[in-house]
Every structure is written in structure tokens, then in C-alpha cells.
Structure 1
Amino acid sequence: MPGTEATKALTAAVVDSFHDTPDPRLRELLQGLVRHLHGYVRELRPTMKEWEYAVEYLTAVGQKCDPTRQEFILLSDVLGVSMLVETVNEQSGGTESTVLGPFHVVESPKRDSGDNIDLLGTGTPGVVSVRVMAVDGSPLAGANVDVWQCNEDGFYDVQQPEIQPLGNGRGLFRTDHEGRLWFRTVVPSHYPIPTDGPVGLLLDSTERHPYRPAHIHFIVEADGYRPLTTHIFVADSPYLDSDAVFAVKESLVVDFARVDDEEEARRRQVTAPFRLAEFDITVEPEKNVEPEKNKDAR
């Protein structure tokens, strides 16, 4: 390759330019970025026209971002980077994590256990029952559980402001003394990620489909424990084997069982038939942080 020694010298000079960065982790990240990015260029040798297009493309991605849409997260998702970051930071003993997604952009309204997060009253009614536990099986009372999902047509509230009120499909819950909470909702649909921007152009150009299987998002936070970002996936949904953002994990696929019992429906404050999902979420202690429950026990 022409100029090989010169390109290596350039890379070394750029890496060295960050040598005096006070924060050692920032220094490590920046120097690693330079080495890998320069290695990519040396390997594939993009033309000036190709590099200009790449810069224009990333500019367009940024221009597509707004307070209710994060195109850069979407790009990270479809390239598998979001899932890779989740995987290298995976809990070793708790519930598996998965991607945040581009629609956690609105603060979820506070709700009580048993509330209905479906504000429209359409679609197949669902009931979701969750138990939050530590890895030793003890329940975590007072854990915050942030929930968000699309509607039965595959759209989030921020995508349909003229149809869905802000906060539809969202809720911020706290677990009870047994670590439990439940809520009423509508069974979500599989859906295409937004394709009207640069990420859609990427998928179209590479003949990749844009679909995600039906799922509900969760962020679980409890004092003294590592925050967990995860989903549950509807077991009979299409695209479980080809999620556009590579986020499906077998342990997160949950049966939304059909319930025809009228008495059970009344107890759950829904109409029969409805779909019922029950599952546990397990979180790990923060490293070098004593969980609050252990502090209280002393």
C-alpha cells in the first residue's frame, strides 16, 4: 500500500496527541478510537468521494434527531453496536439486558400498580405482572420500573401526536413490599423502525427489512443495584428470529397467555379474553456498593 509508513506515522501522531488527557479512561477511549478508525481506513481505502458521502450521511443522521426521535441511536441499533455495548456490559447473574431503543425520549408518567397505561382502549387487552428480585431471590421493594411500549398498530405516542396522547403506553411504577407490580395495557404489535430518514436509506440500500418483534421496554432501578435496561418479547410475534436491531434474547421471550375466564378478567379490571404475561426481573448489586436492604438489616 502506497505511503504505508506515512499512514502509520500519522496514526501514531494522532494517538500521541491525546497522551496528556487528564482522565485516563477518556484517554484510553480516544486513543482506541483513533487506532481502530485509522485501521478501517487503511484496510478499505475509501475514496475522497466515499468519505465525503460518509460525512454527509452522518450529518443527515444528526439533522434527523429531535426531542422525540434519536436517529443516532437508531443507527447504532441497526449496526448492532447498541446490542454489542449491552452485551459487553451484561449482568453475569441477573436478567439479560437489551437495547434502549430510540423512543425513550419522554418522561414516563408516575402510575400506581394496577393502572392502565393504554389510554385509548383499543386493541387486545393485556395484563403484565412483574416481580423484581435480587440475584439471591429476595424481593426488592420500592424499585423504580420504567415501562414504555408501542400501541396495537406498532406506533409510540411520540410518533402519533395527533392520535395518541403523550404518555400513552408509558408508566413509571414502584414495586410493593414483595417486589411486585402489575399494569393493564394493550398487547403491542411488531413494527418497522422509522424508515423515513438516513437509517431507512441504509436498510433499503442493503435490502434489509426494518421490522422489530412485539415487545415492551423496561428500565429497573433500585438503591444499591445496577440499573437494568431490558425488554420482554411477545412469544408468538413475527420477526423474533430476525430483529432489525439484533436485540432478541431467548430468555426475554415471554408467553402472553390467552385468558378467557370472566371472573379473572373482572379481578384484573379488563374484559375477556385478554392476554396475561407474568415474569421475574433479577438485578445485580452495584460493585462496591452495599444494597440498601442489607444496610437496613444491620
Structure 2
Amino acid sequence: MLDDDTRDAQTKREDDLVDTVVASFAAAPDPRLREVMQSLTRHLHAFVRDVRLTEAEWNAGIAFLTDAGHITDDRRQEFILLSDVLGLSMQTVAINNEAHGDATEATVFGPFFVGDAPLIENGGDIAGDAPGEACWVEGSVRDTEGAPIPGARIEVWEADEDGFYDVQYSDDRVAGRAHLFSDEEGTFRFWGLTPTPYPIPDDGPVGRLLAAVGRSPMRASHLHFMVSAPGRRTLVTHIFVRGDELLASDSVFGVKESLIMDFDRQRAGATTPDGRDLGGAPWSRTRFDIVLAPSAEER
């Protein structure tokens, strides 16, 4: 155990290093970059000092990040996955999507968005050949004053019933994703798949981390949306299935009560809203009414 003088000398040595590193960023010409790097330095050093990080643990951390880099490619983003399971993604979402009236709440973006999803007409099908139970989704896009927003771009994507997004397959399929636009009344509708639970990719370093700490990789059943319109804050969100037992333990902390929806199961052979013939199979339906906040420039 260190005596008081030795402890004080050690503390001063550590404090001096923090001050030196912080000062090294003082001449950064971009004030925001300077602020971020100096704060990051203080917090990283505080973490190392708080847990008294060993050199072996530091090396393990470097190896973990190296592995995350190696497994990341144009179809898989392990660093977003890491951010998600640490709750950092959701904290960033919360900071950047402040409450505004009854605007729909945002949640995590996730690692599986693709920007060139096909266009469908209202009432079209995003599922393609993806396996799963058909689901009719309808709703509206309005502003916080209740006025409809026609022409809002609605990006939608989801996993199939086997728990995989199209980009996780090696055959370049496009399924379970599309974009469409709200009509003149601000309404939209499409066929998708009834969401089912699935694990986040757990065959890499993030999966090993979750296993080591006894956490499940499972995500609650959900359907992704990204909704944008001129003069409105772009909304990135999901809707979740009421009654899913994973709502309280979603691996990326993405569930919000306001985003839990009823997915009403329809009996086999029940008449569909658009007369589509589902071959006598059961299906589900849900409604999601979206409220977009004004953009920062419009407030």
C-alpha cells in the first residue's frame, strides 16, 4: 500500500500527463475539434485511472478494436454494432433528437441500411422474395401542427423470418427493403413482413464481448423507418411488436414505449385491405402514424 507522499507523487504524475495531452490540442484551428479532442482525452484518461487499467487489459482492448476493424467491410459495420451494444448509439440519438411537441421518437439507425433501396408505389411490397408472414403497414406523415406532409420520403427495411437482412446474404439479393412517398393526403401503405426477433451478428468481437459479460445478442422484433421531408428533421426510428418478450432486453437499447405497436393477426383467408390473394395464408396488419419535427432552420 502506498504511503501518502508516494500516492501524492503518483497522482501528480498522472495529472501532469493529462494536462500535457490536453494542451497538445490547444492550437487546433477548429474550435469544435479542439473541444471534442480535449474532452475525449480527459474522459479516456479518467477511465484508465478509475479502473487502474493493466497493460494486459490495454493490449486486449487494442486487439479487440483491431478485430473489429478486420471484420468490418461494405456490408458489415462492427464499430456501429459496438456503439449500439454500449448504448452509445442511443445516447447520441437522444442528444440529437430533442423532444418537440408530439414528434415521433427516434431510435438507432443500425448497421444494415442501404441507400439505393428500390422505389415502390403506395400499396407495393417491400418483402420481395424474403421469407416470412405478410404484414400490411399503413399510416400517415404529419407535422407537429397536425397538417399532412405529402411527398415525404419513407425508407423501410427489415430482417426476414430467418433473422437476416438481404445484405447478410452473399447473392446480392434485394429484399425486405424499399422506399416510397406519402401521397397528397400524407398517407402511406405497403406490404412487408411481420417482424420477428433475431440476434445481432454475434460471430465477431462484439458477439464475444456479449458472451463474456452474459448478455444476449437478441433484438426485439422491429421494422425500420427513415422519413424525410423538406423543412423537417429527418426521423430514423423503428416500430416494435407489442407483446414481444424481448422488449425489455433489446440488445441495443432501442425500444421506446411510444414505438410499440399492435400487430393484429389476421386469420388465414381473411380479406386483405387491397384485395391481394395471399393463398389462404395468415397475415398481420399494423398502423404507424408519423409526426415529423421541424428542422433546426425552421424552428
Q: Please report the TM-score for the alignment, with normalisation by the length of structure 1.
A: 0.91
1:244 aligns with 2:251: yes
Question: Which one of the candidate residues 52, 68, 74 is aligned to 2:75?
Answer: 68
1:141 aligns with 2:147: no
CA–CA distance in 2 between the matches of 1:203 and 1:256? 30
Contact 2:130-2:160 within 8 A present in 1 as well: no
Residues 155 and 92 from structure 1, CA distance in 2 versus in 1: closer, same or farther, beyond 3 angstroms?
Answer: same
Residue 283 of structure 1, CA deviation: 1.1
Alignment of 1:122-271 (within 5 A): 122-162=131-171, 166-260=173-267, 264-265=271-272, 267-271=274-278
Residue 214 of structure 1 aligns with an amino acid whose one-letter code is S
Residues 209 and 36 from structure 1, CA distance in 2 versus in 1: closer, same or farther, beyond 3 angstroms?
Answer: same
Residue 6 of structure 1, CA deviation: 1.6
SS at match of 2:298: coil
Residues 270 and 123 from structure 1, CA distance in 2 versus in 1: closer, same or farther, beyond 3 angstroms?
Answer: farther
CA–CA distance in 1 between the matches of 2:288 and 2:68? 37
5+ long unaligned stretches in structure 1: 291-298
Residue 211 of structure 1 aligns with an amino acid whose one-letter code is M
Q: Which moved more, 1:253-262 or 1:173-182?
A: 253-262
Q: Once superposed, what is the RMSD of the aligned Cα atoms?
A: 1.8
Contact 2:68-2:204 within 8 A present in 1 as well: yes
| Residue matched to 1:280 | 289
SS at match of 1:91: coil
CA–CA distance in 1 between the matches of 2:73 and 2:275? 38
Contact 1:69-1:105 within 8 A present in 2 as well: no
CA–CA distance in 2 between the matches of 1:267 and 1:47? 63
| Residue matched to 1:296 | none
Residues 143 and 243 from structure 1, CA distance in 2 versus in 1: closer, same or farther, beyond 3 angstroms?
Answer: same
Alignment of 1:52-91 (within 5 A): 52-91=59-98
Residues 270 and 12 from structure 1, CA distance in 2 versus in 1: closer, same or farther, beyond 3 angstroms?
Answer: farther
Q: Cα deviations across residues 109-156 of structure 1 (Å, max 9, x unaligned)?
A: 122111111112643211111211111111111111111000112111
Residue 129 of structure 2 aligns with an amino acid whose one-letter code is L
| Residue matched to 2:4 | none
Residue 126 of structure 1 aligns with an amino acid whose one-letter code is C
| Residue matched to 1:95 | 104
Contact 1:64-1:71 within 8 A present in 2 as well: yes
SS at match of 1:231: strand
1:51 aligns with 2:58: yes
Contact 1:68-1:105 within 8 A present in 2 as well: no
CA–CA distance in 2 between the matches of 1:6 and 1:270? 74
Residue 266 of structure 1, CA deviation: 6.0
5+ long unaligned stretches in structure 2: 1-6
Residues 121 and 196 from structure 1, CA distance in 2 versus in 1: closer, same or farther, beyond 3 angstroms?
Answer: closer
CA–CA distance in 2 between the matches of 1:205 and 1:195? 12
Residues 25 and 126 from structure 1, CA distance in 2 versus in 1: closer, same or farther, beyond 3 angstroms?
Answer: same
